[in-house]
Amino acid sequence: MSKLFIPGPIDVSKETYAAMCRPMIGHRGAEFEALYASTQPGLQEIAGTTRPVFLSTSSAWGVMEASLRNLCAKKVLNLCNGAFSDKWFDVAKKLGLEADKIQAEWGETIDPEAVRQKLEEGGFDLVTLIHNETSTGVMVDLEAIAKVVKSFPDVLLVVDTVSSFSAVPTPMDALGIDVLLAGVQKALALPPGLTIFACSEAAIERAKVQPNRGYYFDFIEFAKNAEKNNTPSTPSISHIFGLQHILEEIHKEGLEARFARHRSNNQLIHEWGARHGFENFAPEGHQSVSLTCFKTPESLDLSDFMKELKSKHGFVINGGYGKIKGLTFRISNMGNETTETMQELITAMDDVLG
């Protein structure tokens, strides 16, 4: 069986799988309410919020689209610098919303001053941002951009932390983020299928008067059910068992230690790349802490490298995404990885490179 070092889904521990295989319970009763409630302190600590953290049985895109449906009454500004942030703009247009974007080149960050200048044009009431653009390995300056958006009182900020949640600090309340969301298949190291998200009071108030929210992703329905430690619709209970286990493990390790481990593991990959002359696709100062995106040198047959790494050592890395597929390759260090497991990967990659 191969081990994944791709940007997601990532490797899931046998202990997490065991937790997910607990006997099934009903989702409209005291047992489930206790399970749901048990996830809240850990999720709130990681998110840096006192707000309830909702559990959505969906990919992150469900909540990303829902944020547009629930919160955009006038016009949305999408901050784009990679495949997934670009797609958010496309989704907004498909919903028939008024939308504009700031388009940075793939591999570049978002300039906070450009955000300020765009918002000063007026008419916007929502901004979408991907904190850690998984397709390019670029991590934007979340604090700086949030500060700019919050200087416009009627503009709400939605932040996708899919590949940064629990790998680096994402202090929702301190930064004034209105919706913070993350899929669980990346740094939380669970199988895909569950998304966590939290909404500010301002976001809930906006949603209350927004028509055409639908039902499945209605933020008001999530808020009402959260008061009873429950979900609007049938949840993936097995995922929540697994989430409970992961949160217990994070509590044992401590958040600061977890952040430090991700930084250290990430640095190991950066140092490995430097030894081989591989250039980081992301600019200095804006490089992801949970994965690394390298430019593929002309001298490297990337396809053969990846195939041999898998066939000889059982490790899987990713050969780039979207329009930079093949031009880049990505290596994840998020989730449960340790110095030892990262060194195993590095040794294997060195062996394949000869």
Pick left, alpha or beta for residue 232 (phi over 0 → left; psi -120 to 50 → alpha; otherwise beta): alpha
Q: What whole-number distance in Å separates Cα of residue 198 and Cα of residue 316?
A: 33
Note whether 43 and 240 are within 8 A (CB).
Answer: no
User: CA geometry: angle at 182 spanning 295 and 285, to 5°?
Assistant: 40
Strands 138-139 and 132-133: antiparallel
Q: Distance (Å, rounded) from C-alpha 154 to C-alpha 159?
A: 16
Q: How far is residue 337's CA from residue 317's CA, in Å, rounded to a whole number?
A: 14
CA distance 249 to 288: 23
- Total Cβ atoms within 10 A of residue 191: 17
Is residue 196 within 8 A of residue 217, CB to CB? The reply is no
The verdict on whether residue 28 carries a ligand-binding annotation is no
CA distance 43 to 37: 10
How far apart, in whole angstroms, are the C-alpha atoms of residue 31 and residue 36? 9
- As annotated, the binding site includes 330
Task: Please state the residue numbers annotated as binding site for substrate.
Answer: 330
